Amino acid sequence: TGAVGLYNIGLSCCLNSVLQVFLMNIYFTRILRRITVPPRAAQKRNVLYQMLLLLEKMQCGKQKAVSPMDLASCLSAYRVKLFATHDAAQLFLTLWNLMKMQMEKPELVKELTDLYTICIQEHLACQKCSLETKRKSSMLILPLSMLDSNSHMLKTLEDCLQHFFRPVELTDHNMCLCEQCGKRTPFLQSMKLVHLPHSLTIHLKRFCFEKSAYIHKLNNNLPFPQDLDFNVILTENQCQADNNEKAGWQYELFAVVAHSGSTSFGHYCAYIRSLTELKWYCFNDSHVCQVSWDDVKTTYGHSSLHLGETAYLLIYMKKH
Amino acid sequence: MAQWQEVQALPNARLKQIDQLYSMAALPMVVRQCLAAWIENQNWRQAAEPCSSHALMLFHSLLALLGEHLGSPGLGDEDFMLKHNLRKARRDLQEKFQKCPEDFANLVANLLQEEQRILRLEQARGQGDAAPAPSTPPQSDRQQQIQRRLAEFNTALQEAERAFRHLEDLQDSFDFCYKVYFQPGQARTSDPQYAQQIQSLQAKLQILDRQRQEVLAQMQQLLGRSETLLDFLQKELEAWKQRQKRSCLGAPTDTCLRPLETWFTELGQGLFQLLQLLRALGDLRQKVTYERDPLKEKTPHLEQRLRELLTYLLQSAFVVEQQPCMPNPCKRPLVLRTASKFSARARLLVRLHDRNHHMEAKIHIDRDPPKIKGFRRFNILTSSSKTLLAGDSPQDGLVCDFQYLTLKEQKDSRSGKSSKGASEGPLVVTEELHLITFTLAYAYCGLELELETSTLPFIIISNNNQLSSAWASILWFNMFSCEPKEQSFFSAPPPAPWPQLAEVLSWQFESVAERGLDQNHLLMLAKKLFGSKPSPKSTVSWHKFSKDSASGFSFWAWLDGTLGLLQEHLKQLWKDGLILGFVSRKQTEKLLKGKRTGTFLLRFSETVMGGITCSWVEHPESGPPAFPAVAPYTAAELASLALPDIIRDYQVLVEENIPENPLQFLYPDTPRDEAFGPYYSQRQDGNLTEQKYLKQRLIRVSSRQPNESWQTEEELEAATENLETLQLQPGELGTQQPGGLGMVQVTSGNQGMLQVVATSPGMLQPEGLGMLQTGDLRTLQTGSQDLEPPQPPQVGLGVSKVLQPGTGEQLVLHVVPNSQEMMQVGPGGLGTPKVLTSGLGMLQPALGTMEPPVVSQEQGTLQLESLPQGQEVLPSLEPHLGILEALEVVELMPNMDREQEELCPRLASNAALLDARDPFLPQPEDVALSPVSSLFTTDFPSLHIDDSDFQ
């Protein structure tokens, strides 16, 4: 099979899961395979090259699992510590940025950026004088809150997405300085979706600070669909895109990075749907097994199981 | 079953695949066969990893085992070929894989995997085939999934155990080397041999660490999969709970817990095994640990997660198997009566327990009472704790069965006596929901838990007459509450969507009489509730359903009355579809209009609670068709005479006409006797030689004026209200006066009519002539049984309260002894005919002396008395005592013969013997005066012989 495990080399389940999400993505590996091989001396510190080596090792098909030791030690040179627990979303960003930074061919940089970047237009409108400022911004991960503005649990992923794009009034402490009015005024902040990438990464903010600095994990049930159509979720004025762009906003679930345990300790595993075989696999470090959609659904979250697996990162892939 | 055995059992097509598999493989099948069990028990996949010493070890073990096998005495001469093949195989293997045992491990691992794949294919096909087979109960997709996943879980668990054993081996080997070679502090760092040893030690530690990681990863995977499995079980359990709920309401569903129990137990067993494994891992860590030991980091987390999973599994596995129920026949659980015994049972679906540890189960009632004013509190009088018993056989499972429980209201449950009355809580008793909670102190394998489960809410009544409305509440709650413990549900009960309500109502009929309500019934009920055709969105409020009694009783009370009538008297007819039941009067007319005269149907009365009526059609020579209906029979009437018998003998008396049975064809067009024949009660065979009594039969008759237009039922109902009801004088009916006559006061004389018909055996009813006896007529005695008639020879006819004067239908007693005499008592004289008939020989003179019936109009009572003539052959008449509906009829000595039949018509006309001056009857002043119809006093209806007697 195309699914090969990664040995845990000491609390590396998070790294392993994120790596699997990258390496099982054929659109990413197509880019990865075209990198220029760095000079020998630089090879050990080149994240992309180490990724490629790991991919080769995994795909030679001899073993059920390989060790990501070399890549891990390479990463440790960039302050991605070994033997330490990480946050999967954070690690995903770090890894991506490292790769982009070390990419030498500009066309590959563009491709990598295109593959992952979400474009959003932020609107800030002064409520007093209607002065509107727009700003385009791009992000790699859509960070979705599990709670609405009243701290009620949102029911589904679609709700979370809608909540993300809902305009927010900035009042009181959050008032901004209006150039036209010359003072701090209430603003209406809204976000419009401009562009969605081929590979869309969604971060469910399950770890949250609610009271004081105490972090806790939200285990609530939050179903996510296998198929996601942003045209259905967003209203006309939450988008800033032409029909051509919108036509491509049809997604299907590609991977789920799930976390089990609590904030103080835990374990990551990845559920990934092989893009070649169209089958779901569950990657628990070196242990890989084929699963079904029912298993993936178990990561919706469960109010009675606080230590069970819950989806943390969702990666959707554009349909053809 | 071992894998190789399964493989061998495959069908030929699959075996061919296996054959191909091995023909291309370097492992000869003969070796696979010979060492099947051993091969399957090794972790080849593990050994196939590079730099694993395990592969070499396995390879050599295999060769050694083969050698052993070759030398074993079990292989006789006849196995010469086998021996040869094995020897050759061993040589080949040794040659080929000596240098690369990992390849061999890989080869075997792949072969085993491929075998599994083929087995799975076959299994999937087998399931596909088995599904449409009608004999096996169809399993849902989810049930199949559960079974498949359980099997996979167990396989993975075994794999994890194998991996664990391998880890133990590795650790032992490392431990040994470490203790032997590692000597820190000695200046041997420069010793190259020592350095080499340390290096190999380091390598061993690497392998050990990797194996630890691997075992942990496997466990993570196992936990992940068991979460999915538990999810499936949870859904299946939820579905069972729904089924149980529906079954409580009377729905025909399967509430067997056995499959769930098997699945829960199997998963529980697996998880507890995993817990043991985790603990064993902890022990390994105690022996050898090192910096960044994954066991140290991960086992506590894994164990915590596993415990949580187990807790959740056990919590949900504790279920109420039998909801609280009084041992009552009406299949209505969840209604309990104070001071009556009831029982409830909980079961732990995970059948795992420690025989040495006694687990105590307790029950509590209303542990967290809702904050409702006036909410009654109860105590469970009997013992509320019990040791959980595992039945003698493991099949019984873990059950806490609480039987013979009784409830008693706490005296001080209401805050002071002043709170009674208006200031009481807003809920009436039958809307007050109570809960019983079971708790169980569970302990197994070091896991200690307090498990808890609650019954469905139930209602506590103190009197049986609250049962009906309590049951309505139970129906409503279980249909429309989404929160199983919502005790304050009735403070704001939601309205019922009609489709849901209709289904539940149908269950009521199904559970009582095995036949639910069909579309037409439901349509009629809906029209009754909504006044029009219901849409799926129509809803009924709780108030309208159970309380609104604008028409005298609520919808539910009416429906439940019908249910009661069905259950007691009409089960079979309803079950067999002879009762059309819920048909409105309008619809009745529509149905009957196009049918021939005498077509009738049976429908439940809409104006009488628990009443059934016959409507039939008559097409007069001119004018529109008429649709007469008899006043509804209620349980009281049906107790004396079953409905089929009423239908068989029913007669309408029209002045100057021969009484006839208008009920000829059951709608649509089944002849009456064909439809109801199987339900007629048998007319008993008398013992002819000993008969001293006349055969008797009770029939019902309606009378009407020839020119009288048919009253509709509603009109009749209205009329009833204006009439005084029958009054019985219990004293007169008592047993202390043998022969004392029942007395009935009939207020509406023009309709009352009493007839006694005695058919003579042998003559009229060659086949039997048993006296007609309805169930309740216990005191009626057939002639053959009662040979010693009490004195004086009188017939006491107690006519009962079931007579409904003014409703157009009366109890009629015919006495037709030998068809020679027929006595008819006209209306107004209902209750107490006393008939003395004379023997055949004396008949003639007796007739001569007969007096016409005398009716005392002023008194409104009619007294019948026999004439003294013909006393020597007077058959004795059994005095009727006590049972009101019963009647006694004289039976002639069994010496009649055929010729008598011819006499009948002639004799019949003046056979009635009436005497107004009966000394046993109450004095006039006791009697309510009433007008007596002119019908009776002036024109006595012509006598006739019941057609059916001449069958």
Neighbours of B453 (CB within 10 A): 19
Which two three-digit tokens encode residue B216? 């942990």
- What's the pLDDT at A213? 66
Kindly give, in sequence order, each residue whose CB lies less than 8 Å from that of residue B167, ignoring residues fewer than 6 positions away.
B208, B211, B212, B215, B284
Q: With CA atoms as reference, report the closest residue to B823 among B900, B733, B745, B890.
A: B890
Highest mean pLDDT among B145-159, B323-337, B502-516, B563-577: B145-159
Beta strands at B809-813 and A250-261: parallel, antiparallel or unpaired: unpaired
Question: Which residues in chain B have their CB less than 8 angstroms from residue A11's CB?
Answer: 292, 297
Tell me how many residue pairs between chain A and chain B have CB atoms under 8 A apart. 95
Kindly give, in sequence order, each residue whose CB lies less than 8 Å from that of residue B240, ignoring residues fewer than 6 positions away.
B255, B257, B260, B319
Question: Which residues in chain A have their CB less than 8 angstroms from residue B211's CB?
Answer: none
Please check the confidence at residue B6 and state whether its pLDDT lies above 70: yes
C-alpha torsion B826→B829→B830→B834, nearest 10 = -100
In this complex, do B213 and A285 lie within 8 Å of one another by their Cβ atoms?
A: yes
For residues A210 and B890, the model is more confident at A210
* pLDDT tens sequence across B875-913: 444 444 333 333 333 333 344 444 444 433 443 333 333
- Put simply, whether A286 touches B (Cβ < 8 Å) is yes
Domain count, chain A: 1
In this complex, do B218 and A287 lie within 8 Å of one another by their Cβ atoms?
A: yes
- What's the pLDDT at B589? 80
Cα A138–chain centre separation: 14
Selected residue of B148, B227, B233 to mutate for chain A interface (largest A Cβ count, 10 A): B227
Range(s) of the domain holding residue A65: 1-117
Residue pair B693/B786 in contact (Cβ under 8 Å)? The answer is: yes
Helical spans, DSSP H, in B768-852: 840-849
Highest mean pLDDT among B241-250, B313-322, B372-381, B566-575: B313-322
- The phi, psi pair for A319, rounded to 5°, reads -80, 160
Cross-chain CB nearest to B217 (options A8, A260, A302): A8
3-state SS track over B77-142: HHHHHHHHHHHHHHHHHHHHHCCCHHHHHHHHHHHHHHHHHHHHHHHHHHHHHHCCCCCCCCCCHH
Residue pair B581/B519 in contact (Cβ under 8 Å)? The answer is: no
* pLDDT tens sequence across B110-130: 888 888 888 887 777 765 554
ipTM above 0.85, yes or no: yes
What number is the average pLDDT over the span B351-364? Answer: 84
* pLDDT tens sequence across A4-60: 889 888 888 899 999 999 999 999 999 999 998 888 888 888 999 999 999 999 988
What b/e readout covers B683-718, taking b as 16+ CB neighbours within 10 angstroms?
bbebeeeebbbbbbbbbbbbbbeeeeeebebeebbe
- Put simply, whether A84 touches B (Cβ < 8 Å) is no
* pLDDT tens sequence across B693-744: 666 667 777 766 555 444 434 333 333 333 333 333 333 333 333 333 333 3
Percent of all residues in chain B with a pLDDT value above 90, rounded to a whole number: 11
- What's the pLDDT at B446? 86
Helices vs strands, H then E, count in chain B: 27, 25
Q: How far is CA A51 from CA A8, A35, A99, B361, in A?
A: 16, 11, 9, 59
* pLDDT tens sequence across A124-174: 888 888 888 888 999 999 999 888 888 888 999 999 999 999 888 888 787
Position A201 confidence tier, pLDDT thresholds 50, 70, 90: very high
Please check the confidence at residue B287 and state whether its pLDDT lies above 80: yes
Question: Which residues in chain B have their CB less than 8 angstroms from residue A304's CB?
Answer: 312, 315
Query: What CA–CA distance (Å, rounded) separates B733 from B777?
Result: 15
Query: Is residue A95, in this structure, part of any structural domain at all?
Result: yes
User: In the block, which residue shows the tokens 């809960």?
Assistant: B435
Query: What CA–CA distance (Å, rounded) separates B276 from B144?
Result: 28
Question: Which residues in chain B have their CB less than 8 angstroms from residue A9's CB?
Answer: 213
pTM of the model: 0.70
Query: What CA–CA distance (Å, rounded) separates B563 from B507?
Result: 11
Position B412 confidence tier, pLDDT thresholds 50, 70, 90: low
Query: What CA–CA distance (Å, rounded) separates A224 from A297?
Result: 8
Cα B935–chain centre separation: 52
* pLDDT tens sequence across B521-578: 887 887 777 777 777 778 888 887 887 777 777 888 888 888 888 888 777 778 777 7
A13 is catalytic: yes
H or E element at residue B308: helix B294-317
For residues A314 and B484, the model is more confident at A314
What number is the average pLDDT over the span B422-440? Answer: 76
Please check the confidence at residue A248 and state whether its pLDDT lies above 50: yes
Please check the confidence at residue B687 and state whether its pLDDT lies above 80: no
Four-residue CA torsion sign, B79, B80, B83, B88: negative
Which two three-digit tokens encode residue B271? 């998880």
Please check the confidence at residue B830 and state whether its pLDDT lies above 80: no
Query: What CA–CA distance (Å, rounded) separates B573 from B638?
Result: 13
Question: Which residues in chain A have their CB less than 8 angstroms from residue B221's CB?
Answer: 269, 282, 284, 287, 289
Position B312 confidence tier, pLDDT thresholds 50, 70, 90: very high
Query: What CA–CA distance (Å, rounded) separates B581 from B528?
Result: 14
Active-site choice (A178, A267, A269, A282): A267
Residue pair B387/B353 in contact (Cβ under 8 Å)? The answer is: no
Please check the confidence at residue B508 and state whether its pLDDT lies above 60: yes
Percent of all residues in chain B with a pLDDT value above 70, rounded to a whole number: 65
Please check the confidence at residue B323 and state whether its pLDDT lies above 70: yes
**Average pLDDT over chain B, rounded to whole?**
70
- What's the pLDDT at B781? 35
- What's the pLDDT at B694? 61
- What's the pLDDT at B643? 76
Query: What CA–CA distance (Å, rounded) separates B323 from B343?
Result: 8
- What's the pLDDT at B670? 79
Paired residues of A281 in beta bridges: A272, A290
Position B400 confidence tier, pLDDT thresholds 50, 70, 90: confident
C-alpha torsion B587→B588→B593→B599, nearest 10 = 160
Q: What is the DSSP string of B379-417?
A: EE-S--EEE-EE-SSGGG-EEEEEEEE-EEE-GGGSSSG
The one-letter amino acid at B939: D
Highest mean pLDDT among B59-63, B654-658, B909-913: B59-63
C-alpha torsion B52→B53→B55→B57, nearest 10 = -160
Highest mean pLDDT among A262-266, B417-421, B763-767, B769-773: A262-266
In this complex, do A305 and B227 lie within 8 Å of one another by their Cβ atoms?
A: yes
- What's the pLDDT at B52? 64
- What's the pLDDT at B938? 36
Paired residues of B813 in beta bridges: B698
What number is the average pLDDT over the span A191-203? Answer: 93
Which two three-digit tokens encode residue B641? 């005479």
The count of residues in chain B is 951
Query: What CA–CA distance (Å, rounded) separates A48 from A96?
Result: 10
For residues B249 and B669, the model is more confident at B249
Query: Is residue A291, in this structure, part of any structural domain at all?
Result: no
**Average pLDDT over chain A, rounded to whole?**
89
What number is the average pLDDT over the span B298-313? Answer: 91
Q: With CA atoms as reference, report the closest residue to B854 among B843, B846, B865.
A: B865
- What's the pLDDT at A174? 78
Question: Which residues in chain A have their CB less than 8 angstroms from residue B301's CB?
Answer: 261, 265-267, 307
Which two three-digit tokens encode residue B115? 């075998």
Query: What CA–CA distance (Å, rounded) separates B618 from B665?
Result: 12
For residues B627 and A27, the model is more confident at A27
Locate the chain B residue with the closest alpha carbon to A281.
Answer: B221
Question: Which residues in chain B have their CB less than 8 angstroms from residue A259's CB?
Answer: none
A173 is catalytic: no
Position B782 confidence tier, pLDDT thresholds 50, 70, 90: very low
* pLDDT tens sequence across B83-105: 888 888 888 888 888 888 888 88
- What's the pLDDT at B360? 87
Please check the confidence at residue A109 and state whether its pLDDT lies above 90: yes
Four-residue CA torsion sign, B231, B232, B237, B240: positive
Cross-chain CB nearest to A284 (options B210, B224, B305): B224
Average the pLDDT over each of A1-5, A193-197, B920-924 and give the range with the smallest value.
B920-924
Residue pair B888/B835 in contact (Cβ under 8 Å)? The answer is: no
Please check the confidence at residue B873 and state whether its pLDDT lies above 80: no
Cross-chain CB nearest to A286 (options B214, B224, B304): B214
The one-letter amino acid at B648: R
Neighbours of A66 (CB within 10 A): 20
- What's the pLDDT at A42? 87
Residue pair B695/B890 in contact (Cβ under 8 Å)? The answer is: no
Highest mean pLDDT among A211-215, A308-312, B541-545: A308-312
Selected residue of B298, B310, B311, B316 to mutate for chain A interface (largest A Cβ count, 10 A): B298
What number is the average pLDDT over the span B485-490? Answer: 81
Beta strands at A287-291 and A280-284: parallel, antiparallel or unpaired: antiparallel
User: In the block, which residue shows the tokens 């009754």?
Assistant: B528
Q: What is the largest CA-CA distance in chain A?
A: 69
Selected residue of A6, A7, A8 to mutate for chain B interface (largest B Cβ count, 10 A): A8
- What's the pLDDT at B531? 76
Cα A311–chain centre separation: 11
Query: Is residue A2, in this structure, part of any structural domain at all?
Result: yes
Query: Is residue A226, in this structure, part of any structural domain at all?
Result: no
For residues A154 and B788, the model is more confident at A154
Please check the confidence at residue B754 and state whether its pLDDT lies above 60: no
- What's the pLDDT at B475? 87
Q: DSSP label at B634? A: E
The count of residues in chain A is 320
The CA distance from B105 to the nearest CA of chain A, in Å, is 12
Average the pLDDT over each of A28-37, B582-591, B759-768 and give the range with the smallest value.
B759-768
Which two three-digit tokens encode residue B719? 């009329």
Q: What is the DSSP string of B451-469?
A: EEEEPPPEEEESSGGGHHH
Tell me if residue B10 falls in helix, strand or coil.
coil
- What's the pLDDT at A89? 92
- Put simply, whether A284 touches B (Cβ < 8 Å) is yes
Query: What CA–CA distance (Å, rounded) separates B934 from B717?
Result: 22
Please check the confidence at residue B673 and state whether its pLDDT lies above 90: no
Beta strands at A5-6 and A65-66: parallel, antiparallel or unpaired: parallel
Position B330 confidence tier, pLDDT thresholds 50, 70, 90: low
Q: With CA atoms as reference, report the closest residue to B812 among B831, B834, B835.
A: B831
* pLDDT tens sequence across B791-823: 443 333 333 333 333 334 444 444 333 333 333
Tell me if residue A258 falls in helix, strand or coil.
strand
- What's the pLDDT at B800? 31
Q: With CA atoms as reference, report the closest residue to B229 among A5, A282, A292, A224.
A: A292
CATH value at residue A33: 3.90.70.10
Four-residue CA torsion sign, B497, B503, B506, B512: negative
